[in-house]
Amino acid sequence: MSSPDPSGLFPLHLASKEGRNEAVAEFLMSSDLGEVNSMTTSGGRSPLFLAATQGHADVTETLLRLGQADPNACVETGMSPLNIAAAKGHGDVARVLLGAKNTDPNLANLDGKTPLASAAYSGHSAIVSQLVSRQDVDVNKATVSAGLTPLLYAVREGDEAAVAALMKRADLDVNAMTLSGEAPIHKAVMSPRSKILRMLLKSPEIDVNVVSRKSGLPPLLMAARGGAAYNIKSLRCDPADSLKALLDVPDLRLNVVDRRELDVVRTCLYGGHVAALQVLLAHPRVKVRHIDLAVESWQCKEIVKAWQHKKVGAVEQILLAQPEANVNDVATEGRKTALILASAAGLLEVVCALLARDNVDVNAKDATGTTALLAAVRMEHHVVVDLLLGVKGVDVETGNVFGNTPLLAARRKENSRLVKLLLVAGANIYEPVRTLTPGTKSNSKEDIKMKAW
């Protein structure tokens, strides 16, 4: 009865695997049956491990009671019967094994994954609750390969019940990081389930400003990016709820920027998150320092056209929410104002919103002397040009440092429509043209002559 079949399985293994409890009891009471703990298949699977794998709680109890099976006997991968039961969600088997006096609830596999981590990873919150109710269960044990703790697994998988159960433990490390440098809060802000983030923020030990070594970003900027969720089919989430939760924390630092010097407002603009921007602008601590930086977000090469309608709304939200902001202030490279940037990009809605400001300087110049009108003409944005020409006091003659005026730019583009618009607005048909004597590099006034066309 104790001899294995050609496949290497003892009769006791087959009965345990198939859940035949009466047969298992009969085998265990047989006088010619060998030591139950020494009977293993290839890979080291014992009858108890097979019963736990298949979820046979009655067989598990019989093997422990009659056969004195070792609940800590592991297979070659280091998985114990309790670990495999937790991984597969067999709560009744886990309850039986935890009831055994000598069961080690923290026995991990070769990667260091404990039964609690296996349950959290597999989304079995009921077993997580069973395990954390025991004070001898280590809730902070991390895996060897990635440094993932049970809390990190639960947050990553979006298991609210598991996170809630783990948060009940006073010894839980809510700031434990993976080997790549991500804490639970970093994973929480990138999940569409903001309830998990709010659970974490209730902990007095949480570090709300901790920077991820993987992304180099604090939770605030990660939330503003609206990162992809880990476990919900890689859906992109709206960061509004996460930002709202973070802004309620008094210790949150708002003056943080990423490697490209983008703050939380501009990060929302890059992503086209209008709802998130509304949340930010409604907060008394959030201020937009430079309108030109907001408009410049349009010209980033990473922007996809699909977001454009949202981004117009985002810039308009800034202009409406913060009327005290100086629309003529410059902080961008090249010292371009918001109006110059919007005109060059052809953002009619934004140009209209900027021109509605009483203090907007329609003739402001960038570092090269280019005005909003010249920028719009060069990019052939007809409607924007027409709009700017209707502004009282607009200068249609001023050129940049290269002597390029709006009319000359329109002529070089061979755009007769723009030429007519500028001439009607009073542009001088006598354009200053730089003519240099061959072999010289002079830029003196003597080299500038008037030419009619």
| DSSP conformational letter for 449 | E
- Name 430's Cβ contacts closer than 8 Å, sequence gap at least 6: 450, 451, 452
Residue 68 has pLDDT above 70, yes or no: yes
Per-residue pLDDT for 301 more than 50?
Answer: no
Q: Model confidence at 312, in pLDDT bands (50, 70, 90)?
A: low
66-72 average pLDDT score = 89
Q: CB neighbours (10 Å) of residue 397?
A: 13
Q: Who has greater pLDDT, 191 or 432?
A: 191
Please tell me the predicted confidence (pLDDT) of residue 234.
Answer: 38
Residue 81: partners with Cβ closer than 8 Å, 6 or more residues away: 46, 48, 49, 51, 52, 60, 71, 73, 93, 97
| C-beta separation of 151 from 184 below 8 A | yes
pLDDT, tens only, 218-234: 999 999 887 533 333 33
pLDDT digits (tens, 9 = 90+) for 94-150: 999 999 989 999 999 999 999 999 999 999 999 999 999 999 999 999 999 999 999
Tokens of 186: 């970093």
pLDDT tops 60 at residue 428: yes
Asked whether residue 1 carries a pLDDT value surpassing 50, the answer given is: no
255/241 Cα distance (integer angstroms): 20
Q: What is the mean pLDDT of the chain?
A: 83
pLDDT: is 162 or 227 the higher one? 162
Fill in the DSSP letter of residue 228: B
Structure tokens given for 13: 């293994």
| 246 membership: H or E segment, kind and range | helix 240-247
- What does the pLDDT read at residue 453? 43
d(CA 10, CA 40): 8
Looking at domain 206-325, its CATH superfamily turns out to be Ankyrin repeat-containing domain (1.25.40.20)
Burial (0-12, 13-18, 19+ Cβ within 10 Å), 78: middle
CATH topology of domain 326-427: 1.25.40
How many CB atoms are located within 10 Å of the residue 5 CB?
Answer: 10
Measure CA 353 to chain center. Answer: 31
Per-residue pLDDT band for 302 (boundaries 50, 70, 90) equals very low
Q: Exposure of 31 by Cβ count < 10 A (0-12 exposed, 13-18 middle, 19+ buried)?
A: exposed
- pLDDT for the residue 266: 77
- Same topology, domains 206-325 and 326-427? Answer is yes
Please report which helix (H) or strand (E) contains residue 395, including its range: none
| 314 pLDDT tier (thresholds 50, 70, 90) | low
Collapse the DSSP code of 451 into the 3-class scheme (helix H, G, I; strand E, B; otherwise coil) and give the result.
Answer: strand
pLDDT score of 368 more than 80: yes
The one-letter amino acid code at 72 reads N
**For residue 31, what pLDDT band results from cuts at 50, 70 and 90?**
low
Diameter of the chain measured on Cα atoms:
119
Which pLDDT band, with edges at 50, 70 and 90, does 328 fall under? confident
3-state SS class at 51: helix
The answer on pLDDT for 452 being more than 50 is: no
The yes-or-no verdict on residue 32 having pLDDT over 80 is no
Any idea what DSSP says for residue 211?
P
DSSP string, 253-321: ------TT---HHHHHHHHT-HHHHHHHHTSTT-----HHHHHHGGG-TT--GGGHHHHHHHHHHHHHH
Nearest Cα to 163, choosing from 187, 128, 131, 133? 128
pLDDT at 320 over 70: no
pLDDT(449) > 90: no
Q: What percent of the chain has pLDDT over 90?
A: 55
| Residue 53 in tokens | 């794998």
As a 3-state breakdown, the chain gives helix, strand, coil percent values, each rounded to 5, of 45, 5, 50
233-276 pLDDT, tens digit each: 334 456 888 999 999 999 999 989 888 888 888 787 766 677 78
Q: Does the pLDDT at position 350 exceed 60?
A: yes
**For residues 307-320, average pLDDT:** 53
**Whole-angstrom distance, CA of residue 338 vs CA of residue 351:** 9
Task: Answer yes or no: is pLDDT of 161 > 80.
Answer: yes
Under DSSP, the state recorded for 236 is B
Whether the per-residue pLDDT at 433 is higher than 60: the answer is: no
Kind plus residue range of the DSSP H or E element containing 434: strand 430-434
Q: Taking the domains of the chain in order of start, what are their residue ranges?
A: 206-325, 326-427
The predicted pLDDT at position 39 comes to: 66
Dig out the tokens for 63 from the structure: 């093997």
- Cα dihedral across residues 112, 49, 52, 101: positive or negative: negative
